[in-house]
Structure 1
């Protein structure tokens, strides 16, 4: 009984650590002013796989220009006015790759951009998983299933966080417009009310004729 409980506890501890066994990457949310461009640089080895995911969270029509250049300056990816996209690629050269986001086409819209750069393949859960010839044990199969489920949960949480931030930005923008419209209507209503009162008052004001000077 104790051995079964100890094995079960080790299995759960291993499952909790599986979420950390993901491909190395960079996740960042940054501000992109109007008529501006932001570039990020990453040194990569040849034959390495990377995946770039990005999405505009706030600002304008929620679009941005994005392009990627290899170490020789050759453009391997370019998209204009995209709200979100995903680009997987295997590097052909060793060197510094440039990832740029441009808001130069906008003259007044400030943007908030999220991007996630995943580099390399995910390491195997078990050390000999790629070379072993025997079938996985029941605990190992359960750990693999839990690991895949945790990865799906992480991806879903990231997606819903971005959607929540985008929806909150739209709601705040709509709330601001409604507030300004309400203030404008209040001012107009006040001016019209005062004008009507003044107009009605002028109808009931008795105008006395000016008496002429007495003849001498």
Structure 2
């Protein structure tokens, strides 16, 4: 019977978290907002974003609570990973603004997660949960934290890889046009 407690508990944890991972293109001089509902005050809101391509790989952002009060903002940020506690229930706005760019579209990966922290209730009878089960739960929570850290690192390295690829592509394009210009100059001097 004890071996069923952990899978049921993990399933319960999975059902408590709601999240969305998206990639969006933000045109020049565009403001784009996304929304997440928070059911009650005290819930945790996780917000991650990274500019994958476009311009100087930076973007402006802000987060507003249901009362339209700005709770977090940033200017010319390349990426960010924030955890906030919701003070009021309602619809929170996560907005990106590409106003510093006049021509360049930007590709932004972002992740919004609203999570209720489960409260472990004490057992109805003393001794109902053994020490081994408590130790196992603690190990699972530690593993979950480590996996979330690995996931964040993977997102960071993916962003760095995309930026590096963009720089290589830009350099390759410049070298190509330099070689074309150089060839035309050599032919022009020979004639």
CA distance in 2, matches of 1:75, 1:103: 18
Matched, 1:174 2:171: yes
Q: Closer, same or farther in 2 for the Cα pair 1:58/1:122, shift >3 Å?
A: farther
CA distance in 1, matches of 2:165, 2:113: 27
Give me the CA root mean square deviation. 2.8
Q: How high is the TM-score relative to the length of structure 2?
A: 0.77
Flag structure 1 segments of 5+ consecutive residues without an equivalent.
1-6, 195-216
1:142 to partner: Cα distance: 5.8
**Which residue of 2 is the match for residue 36 of structure 1?**
30
**Which residue of 2 is the match for residue 136 of structure 1?**
132
1:46 to partner: Cα distance: 2.9
Give 1:109's match in structure 2, choosing from 61, 86, 104: 104
Give 1:80's match in structure 2, choosing from 63, 75, 80: 75
More strand by share: 2
Q: What is the total number of aligned residue pairs between the two structures? A: 176
The alignment partner of 1:79 has SS state of strand
Flag structure 2 segments of 5+ consecutive residues without an equivalent.
124-128
Deviations 1:28-63 (A, max 9, x none): 111111111111112212322102111111111111
- Contact (CA 8 Å) 2:36, 2:114: kept in 1 or not? no
**Which residue of 2 is the match for residue 161 of structure 1?**
158
CA distance in 2, matches of 1:155, 1:130: 30
**Which residue of 1 is the match for residue 147 of structure 2?**
150
Deviations 1:114-153 (A, max 9, x none): 11112114668xxxx6636642357666655554443333
The alignment partner of 2:17 has SS state of coil
- Contact (CA 8 Å) 2:24, 2:108: kept in 1 or not? yes
Deviations 1:191-214 (A, max 9, x none): 1121xxxxxxxxxxxxxxxxxxxx
Give 1:91's match in structure 2, choosing from 86, 89, 94: 86
Q: How high is the TM-score relative to the length of structure 1?
A: 0.69
Which protein has the larger Cα radius of gyration, Structure 1 or Structure 2? 1
